[in-house]
Structure 1
Amino acid sequence: MQRYLDGEVDTVAAGELLGSALRGGAVVYLGGHLGAGKTTFCRGVLQSFGHAGAVKSPTYTIVEPYQAGGVNVYHFDLYRLGDPEELEYMGIRDYFDNDAVCLVEWPERGVGVLPLADIMVSIEAQGTGRLLAARSATPRGQQILAQLSKYETD
């Protein structure tokens, strides 16, 4: 799936669209440079579950938990992580149960500790906007993207 994002409103809307297909839980990796819109995209995912409050980047806390629409959503930002082993000390595996939605910014910093992503999203600058690309990495991810294509054609 690819989509051109023409600003913050489009980025939030794209997150809401993905969130609408994550009802059974999933691990989503988010790639892109600093300021690409990853946290804005996460705000859209959270809004799809009914979250109406602020969504901040958990750069210093590493994880920000949300309970929205009866779903546990965990927003990770691993930018400041010094070593992937630090994730083991914080009990990272406890967050990744089958029903939780885990949104992971800077997943490359957790290699070897993080579970595989179901969906890998990248947000990159293109012209005056951004290009969002999403691809599946597991059978669950394939189902999610198939559901998204259904939403886009309805």
Structure 2
Amino acid sequence: MEKYRLLGQGLFPETLPPCFDATDLKRAFRGFVPKLRERKFFKRSSSLIKFSGTKHDGSRRTFAAPNPAQFFHVCEFVGENWDFIDERISASPLIVSKPKPAGESADRPIIIPSLSNLTTEASEKLSFSPIIVKADISQFFPSIYTHSIPCDVTP
């Protein structure tokens, strides 16, 4: 998993107008990366950039994008540790939403199963569980689609 592909194709939601483009962030970060790495563990904060947009079905939704400099660290971590992350996800027979790297021609860097597929598969795997705990994190991480986080449904 290449960090600049994650950064350039994963920063903004896919439903934004074409004027929002992060594909050239690799060039924009040139010369700035050593300074970012130097300050990797420094406390830093910034607000998400929130905006209202339409989803594919025409309904409105509030989207949010993180500061690209802070998102760089996430992409670098995922890029450097993708093999380990993938190995851990693949090791569980109970994972419902296994992310996969997309092909070079795809418009997103990672392919995630659709929410409708996840609901069906999760229901099948949870059917004999004595306890089910659900958590809605949609407002905790507003820039991350909740179905993009792998779910280990260990009973």
TM-score of the pair, normalised by structure 1: 0.29
**Which fold has the larger relative contact order, with Cα–Cα distance below 8 Å and residues 6 or more apart in sequence?**
1
TM-score of the pair, normalised by structure 2: 0.28
| Bigger proportion of residues as strand | 1
